[in-house]
Structure 1
Amino acid sequence: MSQIIADSYEILQQIGSGGGGVVYLGRHLRLGKLVVLKADRRDLTARPEVLRREVDALKNLSHTYIPQVYDFVAENGVVYTVMDYIEGESLDKPLKRGERFSQAQVIKWACQLLEALCYLHSRPPHGILHSDIKPSNLMLTPQGDIRLIDFNIALALGEEGAVRVGFSRGYASPEHYGIDYSGLGATQGVRDEAATRLEEDPATVVSTGAGSSSTGRRTVLLDVRSDIYSAGATLYHLFTGRRPAQDAKEVEAISSKEVSPAVAAIVQKAMEPDPDKRWQTAAEMLRAFERLHENDPRTRRRKRRMAATAGLLALCFLAGGGMTFVGLKQMERTQNAMALAGYSADALEQGDVTGAIQYALQALPQKRGLLDPDDTPQAQRALAKALGVYDLTDGYRASRSIPLASEPLKATLSPEGTRAAAVLQGKVCVYDPQTGAQLAELEAENSALSDALFLDEDTLVYAGPGALTCYRLTEDRALWSGQPATAIARSADGSTVAAVYKEESRAVVYAADGSQRAVVDFNGRQQAVTVNDGFADPEDALLALNGDGSLLAVSFADGGLELFDTTGGDGDIQLFDGSDYTHFEGGFYGKYFAFAATDGGDSVCAVIDTAAGEQTGAFADQTPFHVQSDESGIYVSQDNVLVRLDPKTGAQTELAYTEKDIDAFVHGAEGSVVATEDGVRVFNNQAVELGRSDGGDRGDFLALAGGRTLAASRDVPALRLMEREEHPALVTYDPAFAHDEARLSADGRTVMLFRYDAFRLCRAEGSVLTDVTIPEAQQVYDQQFRRENGDSWLEVVYNDGLVRRYSAVDGSLMGEEQGPVPSGDQYEEFFTDRFKITSPLHGTPEVYDRETGKLVTRLEPDAYLTYVTQVGDYIITEYISAQGDRYGLLLDGNCQVLADLPRLCDITPEGKLVFDDKMGTLRESRIYSLQELLGLAENSLKEEIK
């Protein structure tokens, strides 16, 4: 049976141990979020105030390269610190496997580590010292970044420094051992018994005294330079693969064969035995790494040697080695370009469009030199996809990923979608979702229960430190403040705000100008509040105002649910005096109040007519309901379906249907955003999917406003944004007519929508010319739309070889003839100027050289090839996927893919691409050259800078 800590955390497995304690992987029971629990080995009864002081300091930390500390709990005499679970492995593991890292890799990690130390060392009042920096305390994430972990021995610095608590052999500074080399010669130093214990070769030495060590002459304190030494020793190991000697004076110098002289100098200075000779701050050492390029002597020498190198290369070419040299360099750069194209695809999947464009551009150098390879098709494909030039369906596309300093506790959009806000640990940050720029950083109540919401595009009300605060963004000032608050609700008309502070048994109601309208007494009851309100808000409590603020809905920890009349009248409505329900959600729609309640096993959803004081409908099930109710309607999800519920009739209108269960949703005027374990999807009000983000992040926080969506996960320090895109239509049609293919006539005046048993012929503006039923549809073997000599028709081939042709002008039967009986294997061959392309029904299409007959390449392995069209130097292949979706690929003259063509349905005689969104619109695009794509990318990045 698994162990439960503090009724909140389930220990799953031990994942590490050391001198400081045992480390466990755990799970927050309510939220399902993975966490790390560090069981401290120090004696709780001896010095609990020390541990509490450390963790309280660490809970306020918020930095990209530092895991968030959430909780400090004691269970059966053991102290547990609860913090973020960082996916990946610590850097000591690849070192033990004998892996070596490139200089560029380690420099990147060095800068991230030093940024984290800059942050720690600058924390008020005097900074925080990590004290045990080493490879095993650097976690490498799947994204290739590091996180500095294991803060259980971190020290809060005093004005003079900090006493040592623990350290690791080889990575600790002389001060950690009680040795003071400052201002002394190489053979001198002050030692204490810690240094003697060091010689007994412990892995980690832990001070047993409560005070500092002294030899009788002076006390040896730690300061930021002690962390700098440990950082240098850690980098030494990462650069060289060797653990540094435990005595600073015996550390073997890094050779120039291992790293550049400039890098070796930075590490050597960090590891100076005399702290006065080290880098004095992490910021100073960080600047040294950032300026490596201009300070490296080899960079300066390179300029002086350029002329000589050019001459030397010329001699190499004359000697016959030039082509080999160039070929190897081109191969290396081609591999690098392919890797960058992969990075571009990854960035796009995470919603970072700008990053995707930048990676693709790096893979496509515009200034080509002798050593540069031809542009790789993979890079051009990545750039076209990042720019979205061929994705012409109206809908929502990933537009931006805004990085946060830590995982969000709450996130939302303003009513028109022009502002985004994220609640982090102890602060609220406001962003421009179009540019990603941070507009404000406001100090907040240090609680995960803290809310923030917009009253309008410029006004934010949030849980400030000790007071509910209303803030005007453009004026950069607080308009008013009220009583302490964490949970906040606003009325639909914006006239009223209600707030509750943690477990207080009352709510304070304010007018929009900050004046206090009412105090609602809960009669001793309180809302459900987690024991540790610094970790995350399970959002079990309901707090909602109706449209004009006259009613306030409140749920309670005892399972109660009540509607309070905020006007002072007798309009209170008690729905549950108490119950077993532990989770509530819902809100008001006009005079109706809709809610869902769950006890972990059973769930109920009900609608109340507040004017009549009666229930108009209810549902009960063992599967949880999720409810959103606002001035636009009542919306309920269960399992994988989202519906709009009519409060009078109980009629349901489907708004979204997904393969996996819906975990969360939000509905707005433009449609719905739903989150499942597969990602986030956007639907219009007709339940048609308009966009998706399959990054894999949980959609714990969702918002939809102003043609923009926001999704954020408690586990990922970022806001993911999508924006609605619209494109001009070439042809419109009634989407109610189901069809497999859409083709334009040769003159562009009509469009034929067809399937195996029928077709519809429409004029270009969408009006219907005729509907035709294809006779004996069950015997149809194949259909092909033909264009020849300015004429167009649909050719229907039957199993017995009969061929019928229907006009694309008026839909009439042009004639029929008996042809050979089809073979039935669906084998086809296509021809271009240079190639023959074979397409079996089951198997991968193959490309052969028409002159030599040799196999050139293979095409898409998991789709059926339907058409091949040559357009100038390009080849366009069209496919049906295993899921029945149609798409195309743009190929170069060597049949290498240059671009994806989603929903491609036709290619006009002029070589234009036509796309069918299956929602009533055909759209057209030209084929973009590489130079055009580069120009579009440049303009996109310029707009980004603006």
Structure 2
Amino acid sequence: MSNIVGGIYELREQIGAGGGGIVYLGWHINLKKPVVLKADKRSLKVGYDILRKEVDMLKNLSNSYIPQVYDFFEESGVVYTVIEYIDGKSFKDLLNMGQVFCQSDVIRWACQILNALIYLHNQKPYGILHGDIKPANIMLRDCGDICLIDYNIALALGEDGAVRVGYSRGYASPEHYGISYFEDFDTNVYDDTEIVNSDTVIVTGNRKITKYSNDKSKVSSGIRLDVRSDIYSLGATLYHLVSGNRPEVDATKVVRLDDTVCSPALASIISKAMHPVIGKRYQSADEMLQAFLDIYKNDKRSIRFRREKKIVFGALSIIALAGVISVAVGMKRQNILQQRLITVEYSKNALQEGDKKKAISLALSTLPDGNGIFDISTGAKGQEALTDALGVYNLATSFENDSRVELPNIPLKIVSSEHNSLFAYIYHGGTIIYDPNLRKEVVRLDLIDNAKANVYFLNDNKILYTGDKGVSIYDISTGKNLWTKDIVNEIAISGDENTFVGITDKKIFVYSVKSGELLKEFSLNIGRNLPVNNIFADNGSDIFCLNKDGSFLAVSLEDGSVRIYPINSDDPKDNDIILTGPSDYSSFKGEFCDDYFGYTASKEGNSIVDIIDIKEMKQVAAYNSDRQIKLKVLDNQFILCDGSIIESIDIDLGKENQLLYLDDNKIEDFDIGERWIVVSTDNNKVGVYSKSGKNVYEKNSDMSFFDIKINGDWICTASRDDASILTIKNDNEESLISMTYDSLYLHDEARVSDDLNRLILFSIYGMQIYDKKGNILSEIEFPDRKNIYDQQYRRSSNSTDIYKKDIFGDVTKHILSSDLVEGQSFLEVFWYDGTVRRYDDMDGHLISEYQIDKPSKEVYEEFRTKNYKVISSINKPTKIYSIKNNKILKVLENTDYLTYVNQIEDMLLIEYVRASVSSENVQVKKNSDISGMTSVEKYGVLLNSNLEEIARIPGLCDYSKNIFYFDDKVGNIRKRGILSLSELKEIAKKELRN
């Protein structure tokens, strides 16, 4: 079978089917990798846009133990969901093969499943249920870890528009059948009850209830599934893995596991997870995971062993005693290792949540320094977790998650200081002034109980704020208020920071910032529309601002009009300037910029923008849009955001200059710093872009961010889904920069010359060569670029031989390291017609040109190092063999394209490329015809002598002479030496001390 759907997916074979549709093994034609496509032929009763938004939410999920959702589309009445292909075997298959699992493995897998459930259940706003946990939906990867597949991706698909959840007999909770037991239910009383055999029951929004044959049982109808339903199904799955038998369908009939099957502690966890009464199970995945952390502490056999230890010691001989001690030590060592492996998972969670310090601390705790009998190290897993937490190899971008700052309440807005690196995190009823450089709270101030409460940074030490006892100025250096005046609902400050105004109901007060003296007060002839005591109020929903010298006050009024009041006139309300009369616009935003005032007025469906010359009192620019336009004054110019476009307005020339375009992503908020543009988007992403529009950092989240600010090297984001602030740091350490280049030159790969004195950038379009100071030495374009299929940068210091299949399918030598003389290096380019050209990396001149057999369409490569042979082939797992005896040593689960292999002493560095269609449409100076081309993400994986992964190296562009090189794509090549475990520990301890 061969059929193309969605334009880029080939359906290759059917691998599953069910009531909801068919599951196919597919092939992504552009990315050249296997995928899974779920085809659902049920009618789509909800709006496509609604379903699209929900699937986009799933696409942003990222967890080690759940597959990635790539895409969603509808074609010819069939709805397809495209999911990551997981290579491995399901536990259903393993059980059918008669496989027996040891308890320690089951516990480890249970913790990994719970890790995935914690992640899914805590997705905003309501969480994601799996709904069908069973052995068939858990894959065991070749690396020994699990992947929880088939989580609730069906969403709103169904004939009646309801979320449809099937169930699997033996693993389904009572709620799946619409049954709920009361808290006083006693399973011993109802042993004769039975669930009516009904394989066809499907739980929907209108639940069909499967009734009990015994009318004495206490049940109720209309039950909804929640996280505890997943807990039951997990317990039932573990029951099957441990015992080899599927549990009884009726939860009241499940026989508790005894000591012959597993430890009492594990049996107790499974029994509690499968309790018929939903309130008597574990109430969350976190709670159940904690039970596993404490499993050995609560194991009766361990408790009994400790109690009887003295008796045993007295009764046994020295030899027997040594045997008992050996068993006890072995048990304890295994227990410690298991708990530390679970701690590794906690470290990964903390890092995903943005708590870097916690992640470092947890990972470090799994790698003890001592050599004692109980100093058990988690080895490769702990080292990898510590490497990730430290971010020592995250040099392809200078940005990284730093920490989360917990707030007492949901944030209302973020205010950044123009005088220093401080931020004000404003929440309902207060604010935290935070110094990200010191990672600590400077002061916490009480604010008026109003969503319009605000903070202004006056200089390095003084803060103007709407305090709960009145408007105040706080002096950071003394820790005291300099003065406190009237209580007002809202304040605005002049650009020169000499004057501020406050408003209470319909009255305006004008004050001196320096002394707090009341300079003037006047009433408005129309009331203000102030959202009071509303924690979810939009802080940009109306206008209240002063111009630079405090002579004009602009306001939006509750009748939908916008007016400017001349503060210095005798009666400002009698001399107001009406910019727009009463209207049905409900949301306003406006700011002064020198002699101009700009504002937006929005209502459902459209927005208008006006920019007024306040000296001449005339309109100088006007815009309208069918989307809500955002207007800000940044860098002393008006900046507009219209959907996915950010533009600056040149008033003198009367035109807009595009700063950023994000294709399909709608921008929720943005800010502009000295070097970067930062945005939050409607698909829960935070992005950092260079001034040329290149994406240099992106963070996917389970939350939507409504406010984002950049201040120096720090970015802060706020979400109404969580009472915390995420901080992101730009660590632009100059000592790590090895070379620089023209940031506007688009390229796929970057290499450092053998003598470390030159940088070579190349793609199928051409080649640039730079010296160490960033000067261009040479630039060339390649002929017939559409027919180039491969490029290899070769240098004599490489010690890897490469073999490929030729057109006849025979494995032939491609190029050997021994072919190069000392100091020789060049770029080798291959065309589909068999032409090979070598370009010198000194000045780019053509060294030689020759013909080889045309390349095979089948991608097959062998990389041979001193000790290893690595075979890479599309759609097949990568395998590592011993050169000595050709014995297979390791199978790698990674399906990304393997590009190169290096042996570093007894370690292996494997380089990969992951291709993805770029969503950027940026302004470029050169190679502009490839804007929007497929972007290439390069990374490396470092394996230890046991071929265990100890480091993931994102953005790796080159390796030479024990140095990793990273391309940040904005003009810098950074470098980092290989760090040993002891060096990682020292860095971690230093981080924790700071």
* Aligned residue runs from structure 1 range 701-740, under 5 A: 701-728=707-734, 729-740=737-748
Deviation at 1:356, TM superposition (A): 1.5
* Aligned residue runs from structure 1 range 845-884, under 5 A: 845-859=878-892, 861-883=894-916, 884=936
Quick one: distance in 1 between partners of 2:831 and 2:971?
A: 29
Indicate which of 741, 753, 756 corresponds to 1:745. Answer: 753
Matched to 1:873, the amino acid is: D
Matched to 2:459, the amino acid is: D
Q: Are 2:527 and 1:526 equivalent residues in the alignment?
A: yes
The answer for the alignment partner of 1:664 in structure 2 is 669
Matched to 1:617, the amino acid is: A
Quick one: distance in 2 between partners of 1:761 and 1:333?
A: 53
The answer for the alignment partner of 2:565 in structure 1 is 564
Q: Give yes or no for contact 1:428–1:443 (8 Å, CA) kept in 2.
A: yes
For residue 624 of structure 2, give the secondary structure of its aligned residue in structure 1: strand
Deviation at 1:594, TM superposition (A): 1.3
The answer for the alignment partner of 1:807 in structure 2 is 840
Quick one: distance in 2 between partners of 1:318 and 1:630?
A: 75
Q: Provide the aligned C-alpha RMSD in A.
A: 3.6
Closer, same or farther: CA 406–308 of 1 in aligned 2, 3 Å: farther
Q: Give yes or no for contact 1:498–1:507 (8 Å, CA) kept in 2.
A: yes
Quick one: distance in 1 between partners of 2:752 and 2:587?
A: 55
The answer for the alignment partner of 1:903 in structure 2 is 955
For residue 340 of structure 2, give the secondary structure of its aligned residue in structure 1: helix
Q: Are 2:758 and 1:758 equivalent residues in the alignment?
A: no
Q: Are 2:938 and 1:933 equivalent residues in the alignment?
A: no
Indicate which of 858, 872, 875 corresponds to 1:825. Answer: 858
Q: Are 2:398 and 1:400 equivalent residues in the alignment?
A: no
The answer for the alignment partner of 2:581 in structure 1 is 577
Q: Give yes or no for contact 1:727–1:923 (8 Å, CA) kept in 2.
A: no
Deviation at 1:384, TM superposition (A): 1.4
| Cα shift readout 1:851-898 (whole Å, capped 9, x = no counterpart) | 454443333533100000111122111111032211112221222221
Q: Are 2:924 and 1:921 equivalent residues in the alignment?
A: no
Q: Give yes or no for contact 2:341–2:378 (8 Å, CA) kept in 1.
A: no
The answer for the alignment partner of 2:513 in structure 1 is 511
Deviation at 1:369, TM superposition (A): 3.2
Matched to 2:956, the amino acid is: L
Quick one: distance in 2 between partners of 1:774 and 1:630?
A: 42
* Aligned residue runs from structure 1 range 577-656, under 5 A: 577-630=581-634, 632-656=636-660
Deviation at 1:440, TM superposition (A): 2.3
Deviation at 1:442, TM superposition (A): 2.6
For residue 348 of structure 2, give the secondary structure of its aligned residue in structure 1: helix
| Cα shift readout 1:62-121 (whole Å, capped 9, x = no counterpart) | xxxxxxxxxxxxxxxxxxxxxxx995799xxxxxxxxxxxxxxxxxxxxxxxxxxxxxxx
Deviation at 1:572, TM superposition (A): 4.0
Closer, same or farther: CA 443–374 of 1 in aligned 2, 3 Å: closer
| Cα shift readout 1:489-541 (whole Å, capped 9, x = no counterpart) | 2222222222223x334354443331223324321x22222365466455422
Matched to 2:901, the amino acid is: V
Q: Give yes or no for contact 1:545–1:553 (8 Å, CA) kept in 2.
A: yes
* Aligned residue runs from structure 1 range 771-810, under 5 A: 771-788=779-796, 789-810=822-843
Matched to 2:826, the amino acid is: W
Q: Give yes or no for contact 1:392–1:727 (8 Å, CA) kept in 2.
A: no
For residue 933 of structure 1, give the secondary structure of its aligned residue in structure 2: helix
Closer, same or farther: CA 721–313 of 1 in aligned 2, 3 Å: farther
The answer for the alignment partner of 1:435 in structure 2 is 438
Quick one: distance in 1 between partners of 2:319 and 2:940?
A: 49
Closer, same or farther: CA 821–534 of 1 in aligned 2, 3 Å: closer
* Aligned residue runs from structure 1 range 156-167, under 5 A: none
Quick one: distance in 1 between partners of 2:884 and 2:320?
A: 38
The answer for the alignment partner of 1:275 in structure 2 is none
Q: Are 2:456 and 1:453 equivalent residues in the alignment?
A: yes
Closer, same or farther: CA 369–651 of 1 in aligned 2, 3 Å: farther
Deviation at 1:672, TM superposition (A): 2.8
Deviation at 1:604, TM superposition (A): 0.8
For residue 381 of structure 1, give the secondary structure of its aligned residue in structure 2: helix
Q: Give yes or no for contact 1:527–1:541 (8 Å, CA) kept in 2.
A: no
| Cα shift readout 1:798-842 (whole Å, capped 9, x = no counterpart) | 323332222222322222333333223221111233332111134
Quick one: distance in 1 between partners of 2:635 and 2:881?
A: 63
Q: Give yes or no for contact 1:470–1:478 (8 Å, CA) kept in 2.
A: yes
Closer, same or farther: CA 590–446 of 1 in aligned 2, 3 Å: same
Quick one: distance in 1 between partners of 2:448 and 2:967?
A: 51
Quick one: distance in 2 between partners of 1:420 and 1:312?
A: 67
Quick one: distance in 2 between partners of 1:308 and 1:546?
A: 86
- Structure 1, unmatched stretches of 5+, are 1-31, 33-84, 91-167, 171-256, 260-292
For residue 384 of structure 1, give the secondary structure of its aligned residue in structure 2: helix
Closer, same or farther: CA 422–832 of 1 in aligned 2, 3 Å: same
For residue 947 of structure 2, give the secondary structure of its aligned residue in structure 1: coil
For residue 545 of structure 2, give the secondary structure of its aligned residue in structure 1: strand
| Cα shift readout 1:530-559 (whole Å, capped 9, x = no counterpart) | 365466455422111112222211111110
Closer, same or farther: CA 686–317 of 1 in aligned 2, 3 Å: farther
Quick one: distance in 2 between partners of 1:797 and 1:313?
A: 75
Matched to 2:601, the amino acid is: A
TM-score (norm 2): 0.61
The answer for the alignment partner of 1:483 in structure 2 is 486
Matched to 1:504, the amino acid is: K
The answer for the alignment partner of 1:229 in structure 2 is none
Quick one: distance in 2 between partners of 1:464 and 1:339?
A: 46
Deviation at 1:624, TM superposition (A): 0.6
Aligned residues: 659
| Cα shift readout 1:30-56 (whole Å, capped 9, x = no counterpart) | xx9xxxxxxxxxxxxxxxxxxxxxxxx
Quick one: distance in 1 between partners of 2:713 and 2:880?
A: 44
Deviation at 1:933, TM superposition (A): 0.4
For residue 743 of structure 2, give the secondary structure of its aligned residue in structure 1: coil
Closer, same or farther: CA 822–537 of 1 in aligned 2, 3 Å: closer
Closer, same or farther: CA 452–531 of 1 in aligned 2, 3 Å: closer
Deviation at 1:773, TM superposition (A): 2.7
Q: Are 2:706 and 1:700 equivalent residues in the alignment?
A: yes
Closer, same or farther: CA 397–765 of 1 in aligned 2, 3 Å: same
Q: Give yes or no for contact 1:733–1:762 (8 Å, CA) kept in 2.
A: yes
Quick one: distance in 1 between partners of 2:128 and 2:762?
A: 54
Q: Percent identity?
A: 29
For residue 720 of structure 1, give the secondary structure of its aligned residue in structure 2: strand
Q: Are 2:550 and 1:546 equivalent residues in the alignment?
A: no
Deviation at 1:326, TM superposition (A): 5.5
Closer, same or farther: CA 319–475 of 1 in aligned 2, 3 Å: closer
Deviation at 1:792, TM superposition (A): 0.5
Indicate which of 325, 334, 339 corresponds to 1:336. Answer: 339
Closer, same or farther: CA 683–803 of 1 in aligned 2, 3 Å: closer
Q: Give yes or no for contact 1:880–1:886 (8 Å, CA) kept in 2.
A: yes
| Cα shift readout 1:151-182 (whole Å, capped 9, x = no counterpart) | xxxxxxxxxxxxxxxxx999xxxxxxxxxxxx
The answer for the alignment partner of 2:815 in structure 1 is none
Q: Give yes or no for contact 1:381–1:899 (8 Å, CA) kept in 2.
A: yes
Q: Give yes or no for contact 2:431–2:445 (8 Å, CA) kept in 1.
A: yes
Quick one: distance in 2 between partners of 1:88 and 1:773?
A: 52
Q: Give yes or no for contact 1:560–1:576 (8 Å, CA) kept in 2.
A: yes
Quick one: distance in 1 between partners of 2:831 and 2:183?
A: 81
The answer for the alignment partner of 2:694 in structure 1 is 688
| Cα shift readout 1:342-386 (whole Å, capped 9, x = no counterpart) | 322322232211111112112222224334544432221221122
The answer for the alignment partner of 1:675 in structure 2 is 680
The answer for the alignment partner of 1:912 in structure 2 is 963
Matched to 2:677, the amino acid is: S
Q: Give yes or no for contact 2:696–2:968 (8 Å, CA) kept in 1.
A: no
The answer for the alignment partner of 1:78 in structure 2 is none
